[in-house]
């Protein structure tokens, strides 16, 4: 490869990356729902049609759990309209059993033509505030089939040859509780695709379609080389791990998710054989979601400067037996899959990789205490709130760093909306949102502390709340402790109710509050190896109590002077070392 080729590849690739970034900015600045413009729960990317297959060529940083899920969704849409695509078409899709994940995550796809053929496809994948169905917001813990999750949207054209199909558009809006938001959001998504189209056409106009595609191939090959190099650095072998889903909200408990990471040279296969059969509740993960969460795990062990494109995906194979919780058959419900069992899929993949690439794994976290509330503003218009602040916290540690930040790293580009904006947009007050002492998984590097959040509703509403990560909280790696469990409490005038699994369609009066305890992240490595001064700093910062410093880390701290009792500490740590296996 000549330097000129390499430079051109980067220029073209950079152009596509920038177009994807610009799509993202367009959605943020023009969308109407807070989930888009505040929380950024969407991802943008550009695909290329090659040999009848859609392949990812550029993706903007967005919601990481959309990472791979876009790919099968685009393929499904192209399969539906293989000989029926025109410039100006715009396709909407969200079908969990045909390339989708859970129903709220819809994709918008627009073909961009070059040489009279559809070649590129700007795509936006985004979480709609509502998707019809029995429960506002799309998380129905009582769901036992896909129709109880919401309205399934197989690929359907919203625009044809640049003309809006008003009847189709109206039908899509009619099956949504917040059509005003959705209308603005769909326009924003289309605007993003049109922006990308203009950028793509400029690039193709400058370099020609042949050179452009060759440059993209170079970028894909580069990403593949980088990922393969990383995998090749791991010792060949079969690495088995398992974890468990607490419950499926339909009476099923301790549902096994098993994974063998099979490393052979520069290829890795994640084999989920041994995973529990599909369940009745809405924690099943359709195959696109399973693939996506495997790539969430992969992304966390690959250098962040590797471009996310088809090359990223090529060295990885996923085996997910049909009829299991990681590849269910229709019509099993899947509404919660982007939380549970997505969390467990990423977790078990990381646990498997921790055996061959221990210094690469970390930041495990996604077992959320989830609560959805909906009601009506004083003018009668509906609101739907994800209660985003309740999910915050819980990041696991990684080699070389404690768990950090407030928001789950898996969500990456998803931004925690400001409390002020949330209180303006919804009839709520966020009375508490703070780290909780002694809620981080201990380790050489500890998890981020848990966060306690109390949200008080100023207006009556209907709330569904789903607890996860209690019996099987977020796991630590390489000898570290797991994160503590999550908790959910309903605070009504009549008293406090601890949620054990779920509250379903509960009518809450004004002035009711819901309190989330998001357990902290799991640690990495043995807690006994954590330097004493770092434990003291944690005590000083009130992340860890003196009692837990002694119990978990073997560091005895005088809390008044914040000084270490070195003798007692040596004694305690020696005792801890003796009790450790091996």
Partner 1 sequence: MTDIQRQILSSRFAAIAREGAEIFARMARSPAVIDEGQYACAILDSSGRLVAQEQGEPSQLAAVQATVAWLIDAFAFDIAEGDMILTGDPYCGGTVCGALTLTLPVAHDGEIAYFVALRFTCPDLAGDVPGVFQPDAHEIWQEGLRVTPVKLVRANAPERDVRRYILKNTRAPEHLDGDLSTAEVAAHRVADRLQAMLASRGADPVREAADYRIAHGRTRMAGHLASLAGGAGEATAATIDATVRVTVRHDDDRLAIDFSGSSPSSETTANLTRAATAAVVLTQLAAEVIEDTGLSQGILDAIDLALPEASCVNAAFPSAVSLGWRHIAPAVSSALARAVHRAPAFTVPPPLVVLFPEIGASPTSLPLVVSPGFRPMANTAGGDAASGRRRLISAEQTELDGVLSLLSRQFEGDDISAEVAIRQSGIEGVIVPGAGHEPDIVQDAPLSRNRSNVLAFQQGARIRFVYPERREERP
Would you give the distance in Å from CA 96 to the centre of its chain? 16
**According to CB under 8 A, which residues from 535 to 574 bind partner 1?**
none
Query: Is residue 375 a contact residue for partner 1 (CB under 8 A)?
Result: no
Q: Which is nearer to partner 1, 170 or 542 (CB)?
A: 170
Pairwise CA distance, residues 362 & 381, whole Å: 43
State the nearest-atom distance from the C-beta of 156 to partner 1, in Å. 4
CB 430 within 8 A of CB 453: yes
Given the structure tokens 């390339």, which residue do they identify?
A: 99
Neighbouring residues of 424: CB distance < 8 A, sequence distance ≥ 6:
none
Tokens of residue 573, six digits = 């740590």
Query: Is residue 425 a contact residue for partner 1 (CB under 8 A)?
Result: no
- Which of 18, 505, 511, 545 is in the footprint of partner 1 by CB under 8 A? 505
In the three-class reduction of DSSP (H, G, I as helix; E, B as strand; rest coil), residue 178 is classed as: coil
**C-alpha angle with apex 63: 48 to 486, nearest 5 degrees?**
150
Q: Which DSSP letter does residue 471 get?
A: S
Pairwise CA distance, residues 305 & 219, whole Å: 12
Tokens of residue 538, six digits = 């944690």
Given the structure tokens 């715009």, which residue do they identify?
A: 90
Select the span of 132-140, 187-195, 403-411, 445-453 touching partner 1 (CB under 8 A): 132-140
**According to CB under 8 A, which residues from 37 to 96 bind partner 1?**
80-81, 95
- H helix and E strand count, the chain: 14, 23
Q: Which is nearer to partner 1, 151 or 564 (CB)?
A: 151
- Which of 133, 252, 479, 523 is in the footprint of partner 1 by CB under 8 A? 133
Residue 423: which region, alpha, beta or left (left: phi > 0; alpha: psi -120 to 50)? alpha
State the nearest-atom distance from the C-beta of 465 to partner 1, in Å. 13
State the nearest-atom distance from the C-beta of 321 to partner 1, in Å. 18
Q: Which is nearer to partner 1, 184 or 331 (CB)?
A: 331
CB 174 within 8 A of CB 544: no
Q: Which is nearer to partner 1, 219 or 278 (CB)?
A: 278
Query: Is residue 250 a contact residue for partner 1 (CB under 8 A)?
Result: yes
Select the span of 144-152, 473-481, 535-543, 555-563 touching partner 1 (CB under 8 A): 144-152
Q: Which is nearer to partner 1, 88 or 330 (CB)?
A: 330
State the nearest-atom distance from the C-beta of 216 to partner 1, in Å. 29
Q: Which is nearer to partner 1, 8 or 165 (CB)?
A: 165
Q: How many CA atoms lie within 13 A of 509 on its CB side?
A: 6
**According to CB under 8 A, which residues from 392 to 421 bind partner 1?**
none
Q: Which is nearer to partner 1, 280 or 497 (CB)?
A: 280
Q: How many C-beta neighbours within 10 Å does residue 218 have?
A: 19
Neighbouring residues of 495: CB distance < 8 A, sequence distance ≥ 6:
none
Stretch 149-188: interaction string toward partner 1, x if CB under 8 A = --xxxxxxx--------xxx-xx--xx-x-----------
State the nearest-atom distance from the C-beta of 168 to partner 1, in Å. 6
Would you give the distance in Å from CA 138 to the centre of its chain? 16
State the nearest-atom distance from the C-beta of 57 to partner 1, in Å. 26
Query: Is residue 141 a contact residue for partner 1 (CB under 8 A)?
Result: yes
**According to CB under 8 A, which residues from 309 to 338 bind partner 1?**
329-333
Tokens of residue 558, six digits = 């005088």
**According to CB under 8 A, which residues from 514 to 533 bind partner 1?**
none
Tokens of residue 197, six digits = 């189209």
CB 144 within 8 A of CB 281: yes
Query: Residues 330, 334, 338, 339: what is their CA dihedral angle, to the nearest 10 degrees?
Result: -140
CB 219 within 8 A of CB 212: no
CB 542 within 8 A of CB 570: no
- Which of 405, 504, 529, 545 is in the footprint of partner 1 by CB under 8 A? 504
State the nearest-atom distance from the C-beta of 375 to partner 1, in Å. 12
CB 241 within 8 A of CB 347: no
- Which of 280, 489, 497, 511 is in the footprint of partner 1 by CB under 8 A? 280
Q: How many residues interact with partner 1 (rule CB under 8 A)? A: 37
Select the span of 35-43, 106-114, 143-151, 260-268 touching partner 1 (CB under 8 A): 143-151
Q: Which is nearer to partner 1, 313 or 384 (CB)?
A: 384
Q: Which DSSP letter does residue 523 get?
A: -
Select the span of 6-14, 67-75, 114-122, 126-134 touching partner 1 (CB under 8 A): 126-134
State the nearest-atom distance from the C-beta of 289 to partner 1, in Å. 18
CB 90 within 8 A of CB 163: no
Q: Which is nearer to partner 1, 311 or 375 (CB)?
A: 375
CB 39 within 8 A of CB 388: yes
Strand ranges, E, within 301-347: 316-319
- The residues facing 159 across adjacent strands are 90, 164
- Which of 147, 240, 399, 435 is in the footprint of partner 1 by CB under 8 A? 147
Q: Which DSSP letter does residue 333 get?
A: -
- Which of 144, 367, 444, 454 is in the footprint of partner 1 by CB under 8 A? 144
State the nearest-atom distance from the C-beta of 351 to partner 1, in Å. 30
Query: Is residue 132 a contact residue for partner 1 (CB under 8 A)?
Result: yes
**Site residues (vs partner 1, CB under 8 A):** 80-81, 95, 132-134, 136, 141-142, 144-145, 147-148, 151-157, 166-168, 170-171, 174-175, 177, 250, 280, 329-333, 504-505
């Amino acid at each position: 490869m000549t330097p000129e080729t390499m430079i051109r590849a980067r220029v073209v690739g950079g152009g596509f990356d920038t177009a994807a970034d610009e799509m993202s900015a367009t959605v943020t600045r023009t969308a109407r729902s807070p989930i888009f413009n505040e929380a950024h729960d969407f991802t943008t990317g550009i695909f290329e049609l090659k040999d009848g297959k859609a392949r990812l060529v550029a993706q903007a940083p967005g919601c990481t759990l959309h990472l791979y899920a876009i790919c099968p969704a685009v393929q499904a849409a192209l399969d539906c309209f293989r000989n029926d695509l025109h410039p100006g078409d715009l396709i909407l899709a969200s079908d969990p059993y045909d390339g989708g994940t859970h129903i709220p995550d819809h994709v918008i796809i627009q073909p961009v033509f070059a040489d009279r053929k559809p070649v590129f496809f700007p795509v936006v994948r985004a979480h709609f505030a509502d998707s019809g169905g029995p429960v506002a917001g799309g998380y129905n813990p009582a769901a036992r089939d896909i129709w109880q999750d919401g309205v399934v949207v197989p690929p359907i054209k919203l625009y044809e040859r640049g003309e809006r199909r008003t009847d189709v558009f109206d039908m899509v809006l009619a099956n949504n509780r917040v059509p005003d938001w959705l209308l603005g959001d769909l326009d924003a998504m289309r605007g993003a695709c049109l922006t990308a189209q203009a950028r793509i056409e400029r690039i193709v106009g400058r370099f020609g379609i042949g050179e452009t595609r060759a440059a993209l191939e170079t970028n894909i090959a580069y990403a593949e080389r980088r990922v393969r190099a990383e995998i090749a650095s791991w010792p060949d072998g079969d690495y088995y791990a398992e974890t468990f889903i607490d419950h499926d909200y339909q009476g099923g408990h301790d549902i096994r998710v098993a994974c063998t990471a099979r490393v052979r040279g520069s290829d890795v296969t994640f084999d989920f054989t041994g995973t529990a059969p599909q369940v009745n509740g809405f924690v099943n993960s359709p195959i696109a979601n399973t693939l996506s969460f495997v790539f969430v795990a992969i992304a966390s062990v690959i250098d962040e400067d590797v471009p996310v494109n088809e090359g990223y995906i090529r060295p990885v194979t996923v085996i997910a037996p049909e009829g299991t919780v990681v590849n269910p058959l229709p019509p099993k419900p899947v509404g919660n899959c982007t939380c549970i069992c997505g969390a467990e899929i990423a977790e078990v993949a990381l646990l498997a990789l921790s055996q061959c690439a221990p210094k690469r794994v970390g930041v495990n976290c996604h077992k959320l205490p989830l609560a959805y509330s909906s009601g009506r503003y004083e003018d009668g218009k509906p609101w739907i709130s994800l209660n985003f602040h309740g999910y915050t916290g819980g990041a696991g540690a990684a080699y070389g760093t404690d768990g950090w930040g407030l928001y789950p790293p898996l969500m990456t580009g998803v931004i925690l909306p400001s409390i002020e904006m949330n209180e303006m947009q919804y009839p709520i007050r966020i009375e508490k949102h703070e780290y909780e002492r002694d809620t981080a998984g201990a380790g050489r590097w500890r998890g981020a502390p848990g966060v306690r959040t109390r949200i008080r509703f100023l207006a009556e509403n209907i709330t569904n709340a789903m607890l996860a990560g209690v019996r099987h909280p977020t796991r630590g790696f390489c000898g570290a402790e797991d994160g503590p469990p999550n908790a959910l409490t309903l605070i009504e005038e009549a008293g406090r109710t601890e949620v054990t699994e779920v509250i379903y369609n509960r009518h809450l009066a004004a002035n009711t509050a819901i309190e989330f305890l998001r357990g902290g992240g799991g640690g990495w490595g043995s807690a006994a190896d954590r330097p004493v001064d770092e434990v003291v700093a944690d005590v000083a910062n009130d992340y860890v109590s003196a009692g837990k410093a002694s119990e978990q880390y073997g560091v005895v701290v005088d809390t008044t002077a914040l000084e270490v009792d070195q003798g007692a500490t040596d004694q305690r740590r020696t005792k801890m070392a003796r009790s450790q296996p091996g």
